[in-house]
Structure 1
Amino acid sequence: MPSIQIFDPALCCSSGVCGQDVDAHLVQASADVDWAKGLGAQIERFNLARQPMAFVENPAVRRLLERSGQEALPITLVDGEVALAGRYPSRQQLGQWSNVAAPAATASSCCGGGNCG
C-alpha cells in the first residue's frame, strides 16, 4: 500500500477544533484522513510547530518550502513524491492514492443526489 505523508502548517492541533476559530477545511481533512486510515491507508501527519525537523529532513518538502514558502502548506506526499500542495487532499484523492475505495453515494441520500425537497 502506498505511503501518504501530510505536512501541516503550524497548528495547535490536527483536528481543527481547538481554540475559538474552528477551521472547517481542517475538520474535514481530519475526518477524511481518519476515514482512509480506518480502511487501512498508511497516512502520517507532521505539524510544523511540533515536528519541524520532519520538514527540514524531507528533501521534497524542504525544496518546495524554499521555493514557495509556507503558502505551499499543507503538502501531501505519496510514496515520497509531492502529490498536492497548498490544500488538503479530498477523501476521493486519499482513497485513490491509498488504493481504498470511497463509498458510493446512494440515490436515497440527500448528499448522494436524491431529492431533499
Structure 2
Amino acid sequence: MPKIRIYDPAMCCATGVCGPSVDPELTRVATAIFLLEKKNVDISRYNLGSEPQAFIDEAKIQEVLNTQGTDALPAAIVDGELKVEGRYPTNEEFAQWANISVSELTKSETKSKGIELL
C-alpha cells in the first residue's frame, strides 16, 4: 500500500474548504482524500499554517521550500518521492498511486454506493 503525503500552503483550516467562497479544487482534493481514507489508503494531509513540524520532518519538502519557497506548495510525496509540486494531484494521479480506478474518486460513483459527502 502506498504512503501518500499532501503538503498544503498555510490555509484557514485543515482542508481549506471553509469561508464564503470555496475553491472547487480544494473540494475535489478533500473528497478524493476522504474516499482514499475510506479505502484504507495510507494518506495524510498537512497544513503549513497549523502543522509546520510535518514540513520540517520531511527533507524533500524542506529542500523544495528552500529552493522555491511556498510557491512550491501544494506538493505531494508518494513513498518518499516528490511527485507533484505547485499544484494538487489530479484524481487520475491519486488513483494511479493508490492502484484503484479513477471512477472510485468521482461523486457519481460515491452516490451510487451510498456514500454521503460533506
Smaller-chain TM-score range?
A: 0.7 to 0.9
**C-alpha displacement at 1:8, in angstroms?**
0.5
Q: Is the 8 A contact 1:2 1:97 kept in 2?
A: yes
How much identity, in percent, do the aligned residues show?
Answer: 38
CA distance in 1, matches of 2:58, 2:15: 23
- The count of corresponding residues between Structure 1 and Structure 2 is 104
Q: Which has the larger radius of gyration?
A: 1
Q: Is the 8 A contact 2:77 2:83 kept in 1?
A: yes
Please report the RMSD computed on the Cα atoms of aligned residues, expressed in angstroms: 1.4
Structure 1 stretches of 4+ moved >4 Å: none
Which stretch has the larger CA shift, 93-102 or 64-73? 93-102
Q: TM-score, normalised by structure 1?
A: 0.82
CA distance in 1, matches of 2:2, 2:24: 27
Q: Residue 3 of structure 1 aligns with which residue?
A: 3
Query: What amino acid is the match of 1:78?
Result: V
Unaligned segments of structure 1, at least 5 residues: 105-117
Query: What amino acid is the match of 2:22?
Result: V
Unaligned segments of structure 2, at least 5 residues: 105-118
Q: TM-score, normalised by structure 2?
A: 0.81
